[in-house]
Chain A
Amino acid sequence: MPKVVIAMSGGVDSSVAAALLKQQGYEVIGMMLRLWSEPGKEDSNRCCTPDSMAMARRVAAKLEIPFYAVDAKEIFRNTVVESFLQGYAQAETPNPCLVCNRHIRWEFLFNHAKAMGADFMATGHYVRLHHEGTCVQLLKGVDPTKDQSYVLHVLTQEKLKQALFPVGHYPKSEIRAMAERMGLAAAKRPDSQDLCFLAGDDYRNFLQRHAPHLNRPGDIMTRDGRVLGQHTGLANYTIGQRKGLNLASSVPLYVLEKRAAENILVVGPAQELGTQELLAHNVNWTSGTVPTAPFYAMIKSRYTARETPGWVTPLDGGNRVHVRFDLPQRDITPGQAAVFYQDDLVLGGGIITQAR
């Protein structure tokens, strides 16, 4: 019987994923990462039972599968939180979930699963896998409102060959109904939102505590160099933002650009908003084949953004790409990922370094 480790969170998706794997005949082991939280915000009791972990334990007990917690506090702090802070230091808007999936879930936890003797690792992500010859394709989940392929574009063929995503074949509503039917306590838990380590706080407050030097005030300028006011630190703004600029202007102004070197926030009216090209690095070709020629694809440049068509040109042997959209995009943001699709198929993606 193949052995699979399911990464559990206490939430409904990973709980049902565990149940489905069990039904499919796998030998299932539940594992949960103990992630970092801010000192003072974590329960300092060393045998504490945070709610979500208690929930995951109950699900594991109900399914009669073993359950292990894995300490990932230190590596999470050193990779995910560190790159989050570094991203803001470079005036980017980082996406820590990508870093977590690449380095924590699908590297650190994956290695633990292998050490447990697992043949596969599974998660409760809404994506699907399709075996095409020796290649494993990553496809969007069937529920368009829940598809999570954007964050999993970081997976290599090696990982995809050892991955299982049982919930991606169902709409979320059906997963919830299954959880109800199976009597899983997680059925009614709300979906998780926001970044786990912010613990519900605004990221700006978090930055204030952990990187106060980022709150360096500077000029707010128009493209033609007129100073309109002062910003409170570039990290507090994101491309396309309108609210909170505190500028007196007859037309609404938007954040167009963050110039890290000069500590300048560039703003302008809606018609100036928008860029049509981007450069991305750290590109992973999910399909395993590196394209050599430019290709036309649908591109998603933010987790919540709509896909839009454009030309993707591989650079540096595929490690970087240039993307030219058919139409200007409002909020291409360095630090976020650009992920390329062909219908439901994920081709690859990388981290945006520049928009222009």
Chain B
Amino acid sequence: MIYLDYAATTPLDSRVFDAMLPYFTENFGNPSSTHRYGQKAEAAVETARETIAGILNCRPDELIFTSCGSESDNLALRGVALARRKQSGANRILTARAEHHAVSKTAERLEKEDGFQVEWLPLDEFGRVTAQAVEQALSADTALVSVMYSNNEIGTINPICQIAEICRKYAVPLHTDAVQAAAYLPVDVEALGVDLLSLGAHKFYGPKGIGALYIRKGTPIQSILTGGGQEFGLRAGTHNVPLIVGLAEALRLAHVERPQRVAHLLPLRDAIIATVQETIPDVRLTGHPTERVPNHASFVFKGVDGNLLINLLDAAGFACSSGSACKTGNPQPSEVLTSLGLPREWALGSLRVTLGLGTTSEDVQAFLQTLPEVVEKARELSVPR
């Protein structure tokens, strides 16, 4: 089997695993305890916080550990929207349909149950939210803007710096979901100009079940998980010490090794993008041709059931994913693809190929040799719609 689904998750780096190991067994203390067991655990958590703060170019106390990227997104949206409304009466949330569900579904819930008004930002043909679109939609009663750094399904990178400039002008907090981006793009919050940024460790060779949220000092926010006073009172619950250590080590390695990692991936990605379009009829690249994360290639094939395509690829030995696939065989075109204006017969046939550190050029060649016949088979089997 060849794994080409690194945007879904990545294997744990053995160096990260080694860093985590002692905190499962010998250093098992609770960081909130006063004794020396607790002190040792607390030191590990705070060292991890400092490591991450160094990479994000922020203060350690601007970082909150959460259980995953989705929780970080939830805390950012709910926490800021509710606090901003209390503070200034601001009642509107600006975001896009192409956001990860952790953002878009949370915004929908805030609209349905908490009386917020959600405005869905338009996308350009590459799936980008432009600064102009944000400026047009911004108003005095905007509580929060949330725009993802890079898109999980189509790989497009959003112009976060430009959007941040606009938000700063109107003094509206900007959140970015950097869960997909952090593996390969710089996450310097000062350079980006964002007020909140979500991370999830398992997208960059860290463990599953751990995430973080950067919250710029002074950003109005309230906790959504109540209980103990951990994480500056913003996220109750005993610290998951080994996973926090793993998050920090994985991010550190991603930061230090970024140039080599990108250099390894870019030519492989570009080979896929070029060859697929040359060898297969009725295909379109989805997302931006160059402004995309370096390990990400995504396509739509006309008249193909994406679910079937993924199954056939799996049977042929390649693990990929599709925005329209569903484990229970109930394909629907994804919101990302439909918001790009793709007709259903195209949008149902999406394919996402995401590469990783373990991907070799032989893997890519084998994939490119197999894909045309698999697409052909999928087309033969598809029912005329």
Contact = CB atoms under 8 A, between A and B. Distances in A.
B327 A66 contact: no
Interface string A55-66: 001000000001
Contact of A66 (B314, B326, B330, B385): B314
B256 interface: no
Contacts of A74: 383, 385
B383 A68 contact: no
B290 interface: no
B312 interface: yes
Nearest to A33: B329
A66 B329 contact: no
A47 B326 contact: yes
A32 interface: yes
User: Interface residues of A: mostly helix, strand, loop or mixed?
Assistant: mixed
Contacts of A47: 326-328, 330
Nearest to A35: B329
Interface residues of A, number: 27
A60 to B, nearest CB: 12
A1 interface: no
Interface stretch (A111-119, A149-157, A272-280): A111-119
A7 interface: no
A182 interface: no
Contacts of B263: none
A117 B327 CA distance: 20
Interface residues of B, number: 21
Contacts, number: 64
Interface in B307-321: 307-308, 311-312, 314-316
B327 A111 contact: no
A108 B380 CA distance: 11
A73 interface: yes
Contact of B308 (A32, A53, A112): A112
A49 B305 contact: no
A69 B328 contact: yes
A65 to B, nearest CB: 12
B5 to A, nearest CB: 15
Given A75-B383, A111-B381, A115-B381, A70 B311 contact: yes
A34 interface: yes
A82 to B, nearest CB: 13
A48 B312 contact: no
B168 interface: no
A213 interface: no
Nearest to B311: A68
B315 A50 contact: no
B15 interface: no
Given A75-B383, A112-B381, A34 B329 contact: yes
A73 B330 contact: yes
Interface in A37-59: 42, 46-50, 53, 57
Contacts of B331: 46, 71
A29 interface: yes
Contacts of A72: 329
B381 A69 contact: no
Given A33-B329, A46-B332, A115-B377, A71 B308 contact: yes
Contacts of A50: 328
B330 A46 contact: yes
Contact of B330 (A34, A57, A75, A111): A34
A48 B328 contact: yes
Interface string B317-357: 00000000011111110000000000000000000000000
Contacts of B381: 111-112, 115
A72 B308 CA distance: 11
A116 B315 contact: yes
B329 A29 contact: no
A32 B312 contact: no
B305 to A, nearest CB: 6
Interface string B54-73: 00000000000000000000
A8 to B, nearest CB: 12
Contacts of A75: 383
Contacts of B380: 115
B327 A32 contact: no
A78 B316 CA distance: 30
B311 to A, nearest CB: 4
A213 B327 CA distance: 38
Contacts of A69: 307, 326-330
Given A115-B312, A115-B381, A70 B329 contact: yes
Nearest to B383: A75
Interface of A: 29, 32-34, 42, 46-50, 53, 57, 66, 68-75, 108, 111-112, 115-117
The 9 closest A-B pairs by CB, nearest first: A69-B329, A34-B329, A68-B311, A46-B332, A71-B329, A116-B315, A115-B377, A75-B383, A53-B328
Given A68-B314, A69-B307, 7 more contacts: A33-B329, A46-B330, A53-B329, A68-B329, A69-B329, A71-B329, A112-B381
16 contacts: A33-B329, A42-B330, A46-B332, A47-B326, A48-B328, A49-B327, A50-B328, A66-B314, A68-B311, A69-B307, A69-B330, A71-B308, A71-B329, A71-B330, A74-B383, A117-B315
Interface of B: 305, 307-308, 311-312, 314-316, 326-332, 377-378, 380-381, 383, 385
